[in-house]
Structure 1
């Protein structure tokens, strides 16, 4: 067992490697510092600001609509009834099916149904699901198919499908137990 003084003395015996110091070049004048190219022309205050692209509410990217169109409050309420939060027990496939069922009843002249779906879908999300959509990179979701694919992969990844499939294939019922009892042990 060492005392404090022995430990202190032992630590001083080990020497740090010598520091390498570059010599200062006196031939270069002080008034002409080397030019360092800047990545952009933003001020320091602008560079220190948090990125705002995830907070603007502009995701997904909507196709341009060449018609006089406005989302009415009633339409938004209609898709908010089955709100998807992104919990483990929620089924993203069921959410997409129900959302498609609701939006398939809406028809507007000169406006593609996929554009309406893209505009209304963010209103059907809350909690971690809404945070996920807001954090998606700009222009990463351009079509309804892009949105559905990313949504399903986020909230029902292939690994979850594999785990469920393995759980089903490994299910066993003992000879002396009922099916209900065997299901209860899962």
Structure 2
């Protein structure tokens, strides 16, 4: 929904109350008038109320270290579940690189290989096979008797 000359953050701020129910709705109704004037104010107050650092500081570290792709879970299902975990702890403080590394290492080997292929990388098994094949080719080449050059005689 785009309203001419009205910033998207203002539209979100106006519509946000309609997305709430239960404790979140009660919390917003109890906020003093004009205490929330911007989208950033709302986000900050909401996160501090429902996801305070005191409750979420250690949670992602515990869960992320035990995160792994389930046996029958697809790559996309695992990705969604991992992102849900991170969204549940907005104070996690993990860099994007750490998040990706944690997720990648939690995948099964087939999905890791698929990611490696998509990224243009090769898995360690494929790299070892390639090296082994290269050595076999070189050994065979070295074992083939080379013919000595023949000098033409007049």
Q: Fold-level match, TM-score > 0.5? A: no
**TM-score, normalising length from structure 2?**
0.39
- Highest RCO, 1 vs 2 (Cα 8 Å, sep ≥ 6): 1
TM-score by length of 1: 0.33
